Structure 1
Amino acid sequence: MKPSWRKPFGVFLILAIIAVWSVIVASASGPIGTLPALVQAPIYLAAGIVWILPLKPLLLWMETGKWRE
């Protein structure tokens, strides 16, 4: 069986998504840091979960070569 290039490229894309999302959240930390802690917590909780959303289609593509089931 011939190895697929999709898996190494997919891993690179996952790392790129994490890096870009980290920069976005870090750049927004100044204005978010001025908010009360009870407002900051849900913002950072949402930011910690949102980056996972594009991973399902990406992982599916890595395994099957299709973006949708």
Structure 2
Amino acid sequence: MTPTLRKPVGALAIIGLIIVWAVIIASLSSIVGGWHWVAQLAFYTVAGVVWILPLKPLLLWMETGRLR
């Protein structure tokens, strides 16, 4: 078995995804900051979970080389 670049590339993609997602959410903080605290709680809870969704295909690709 020869090592492939899929795992390092995938790891960098995950880090990039987290950074991009954090910047997007942080840029919305001026808008979200004016909301009621319950709405803020719901928004940040959903935003904190949604970034995980693209990880399943990415992790699958890292392991198998296929997206499905």
Deviation of 1:4 after TM superposition, in Å, equals 1.0
Q: Which runs of 5+ in 1 are unaligned?
A: none
For the aligned residue pairs, the C-alpha RMSD in angstroms reads: 0.4
Q: Which runs of 5+ in 2 are unaligned?
A: none
TM-score normalised per structure 1: 0.97
| Structure 1 stretches of at least 4 aligned residues deviating more than 3 Å after TM superposition | none
Q: Which amino acid aligns with 2:45?
A: L
2:31 and 2:38 map into 1 onto residues whose CA distance is: 15
Report the counterpart of residue 32 of structure 1 in structure 2: 32
Deviation of 1:3 after TM superposition, in Å, equals 0.5
Q: How many residue pairs are counted as aligned between the two chains?
A: 68
* CA deviation map 1:9-59 (0-9, x unaligned): 000000000000000000000100000101100000000001000000000
2:18 and 2:39 map into 1 onto residues whose CA distance is: 23
